[in-house]
Amino acid sequence: MPYKDPEQAREAARKYRAKWRLEHPEQMQRDNAAFRKSHPGYFAAYRIAHRKERADYNRAWALAHPQQRREIERRCKEKHSAETKRLRCLRYAQNRDQRRRENRERMNRDYALHPEIYKERVRRRKALKLDSGKLPKDHLLTAQEWQKILTLSHGRCYWCRRKMDKPTQDHVIPLHNHGLHVAYNVVASCLPCNCSKGAKIRTLL
Ligand SMILES: [Zn+2]
């Protein structure tokens, strides 16, 4: 049926094409593939030229679909876990001072909200140290012994041999694995080595 109004005719043609596309998915796929082949770089150029619109659209979509977004993020993290860890460490290193300040602020805030949780954590750690193997108190690591360990370490981490800015006490057999807080179980370690160990037992070999 011919339309008198050209706008109406265009609209009808648009609708017809949309319907045709839905009805011929294979043909569409073939046509698209051919287009991609004959116009190399077309879509990449489009993505670059419309970067802002695309980012805005993606952001709006992510806000409107929180659950799907979380799922996509989770899958992506799983697939690229090594890469995300590397990037996370890099970002942390770049903004280290700021991150540390933020972390400290958050901890202070949380502490103000739930002091009992933090106090309990400190208390447990202390109990583990003191209680380790029910040793008599004079067997526990003393300040002098710790100084001696530091001297013997020559300022280098026991695990990675790098120079330490801030040496930390690292338990070779972790306190959580019934390790003891005694001189022969404590080494001087850099913070990254100490933090990466967690409750695992680690050896030099
Ligand atoms: Zn180290």
Q: How far is the CA of 192 from the centre of ligand 1 (A)?
A: 6
Q: Is residue 6 in a domain?
A: no
Q: What are phi and psi of 168, to 5 degrees?
A: -125, 155
Final residue of a structural domain among 79, 106, 132: 79
Q: How far is the CA of 151 from the centre of ligand 1 (A)?
A: 16
Separation between Cα atoms, residue 59 and residue 13, nearest integer Å? 33
Q: How far is the CA of 194 from the centre of ligand 1 (A)?
A: 7
Q: Which of 155, 165, 168 is nearest to 196 (CA)?
A: 168
Helix (H) or strand (E) holding 170: strand 168-171
- Number of domains into which the chain is organized: 2
* pLDDT tens-digit map of 156-198: 999 889 999 888 888 888 877 777 888 888 899 998 888 876 6
Average of per-residue pLDDT values in the chain: 85
Q: Is residue 50 in a domain?
A: yes
* pLDDT tens-digit map of 101-158: 999 999 889 888 888 777 777 766 776 766 655 666 667 788 888 889 999 999 999 9
Q: Please report the pLDDT score of residue 127 as a whole number.
A: 67
Q: Is residue 183 in a domain?
A: yes
Q: How far is the CA of 141 from the centre of ligand 1 (A)?
A: 21
Q: Is residue 159 in a domain?
A: yes
DSSP state, residue 183: G
Q: How far is the CA of 90 from the centre of ligand 1 (A)?
A: 17
Q: Which of 196, 144, 155, 150 is nearest to 169 (CA)?
A: 150
Helices 81-94 and 96-113, axial angle in degrees (round to 10): 90
Q: Is residue 66 in a domain?
A: yes
Separation between Cα atoms, residue 55 and residue 63, nearest integer Å? 12
Least confident of 58-62, 96-100, 111-115, 173-177: 173-177
Q: How far is the CA of 153 from the centre of ligand 1 (A)?
A: 12
Q: Is residue 172 in a domain?
A: yes
Q: Is residue 99 in a domain?
A: no
Q: What is the residue range of 71's domain?
A: 34-79
CATH of the domain at 150: 3.40.1800.10
